[in-house]
Structure 1
Amino acid sequence: MGFLTGFFSGFALTTSVLYITIQVHRSNRLDQRSAIRDQTKAINWLASSRGAYDRRLIPADETSPALTPSRPGMKDQLKHQWNEEVRTLARKAYDSRWEDVRDTAVEGWRGVKRFVKRE
């Protein structure tokens, strides 16, 4: 394996591991935030003075906010983020002009050939 191949494969491996680590850490923080928010709602609901002695007196819209989760899980968030990235890439591929991409690649190749021939 050549130097450039090893360098770029190591770079790709390192960046992918860092990206996955950061995403997992971010989703854990969001899960913790939503859990703390739900617990705060539950404590406030239990400590509220309205219906403190008889929970049947509380209006129907205020019953047990702690039972309904406020945020989707980590799996759903990762799916949503993946779908957004795929949608962005598809839109970018659809909106790009392939003739311009070809011309840019040809100009880059010519520049590389000129650089190599000078040395």
Structure 2
Amino acid sequence: MGFFTGFLGGFAFTSSVLYVTVHVHRSTRIAQRKAIREQVDQIDWLVSSSGAYDRHNLPVDIPRRRREELEAQKQAEPTMKEILKQRWNTEVENLTRKAYETRWQDIRDATADGWKAATQIIKRE
């Protein structure tokens, strides 16, 4: 395995591990934030003095409209899989757009110039 192949393989592996780690950490933080907000809302609802007697006499069954609103809120919250999938798709889209808009002749010329410069440096030594 050559130096460049090993270097690029190590770079790709390290960057992919860091990428996945950062996104897993971010999704965990989002889930914790949602859980904490739900708990704070429940505590505020329990602690508030207005309507304490009324809450004791609340019916157990949730009205259909409120139940539909809660289900819509649960469906609107993306899962970690959906977040990672969306980020992957945007990155692939950006790379594809960049590859489509790139002038390959300019890259070929720049690579040829770089190769010539590198061979000149090596031949001097």
Q: Determine which structure has greater relative contact order: mean sequence separation of CA pairs < 8 Å that are 6+ residues apart, divided by chain length.
A: 2
Aligned to 1:100: 106
Aligned to 1:5: 5
Aligned to 1:25: 25
Deviation at 1:91, TM superposition (A): 1.4
Structure 1, unaligned stretches of length 5 or more? none
Deviation at 1:54, TM superposition (A): 3.4
**Which letter maps to 1:54?**
L
Provide the secondary structure at the position in 1 that maps to 2:78.
coil
Deviation at 1:45, TM superposition (A): 5.1
Provide the secondary structure at the position in 2 that maps to 1:72.
coil
The 5 A counterparts of 1:1-119 are 1-44=1-44, 49=50, 52=55, 53-54=57-58, 63=66, 68-69=73-74, 71-119=77-125
Q: What is the aligned residue count?
A: 116
Q: Give the TM-score normalised by structure 2.
A: 0.70
Deviation at 1:73, TM superposition (A): 0.6
**Which letter maps to 1:92?**
K
- Aligned residues: CA RMSD: 3.1
Which stretches of structure 1, 4 residues or longer, exceed 6 Å deviation after superposition? none
Distance 2:77 2:21 in 1: 21
Deviation at 1:12, TM superposition (A): 2.6
Stretch deviating more after TM superposition (10-19 or 77-86)? 10-19
Distance 2:2 2:100 in 1: 35
**Which letter maps to 1:107?**
D
Q: Give the TM-score normalised by structure 1.
A: 0.72
Deviation at 1:60, TM superposition (A): 8.1
Structure 2, unaligned stretches of length 5 or more? none
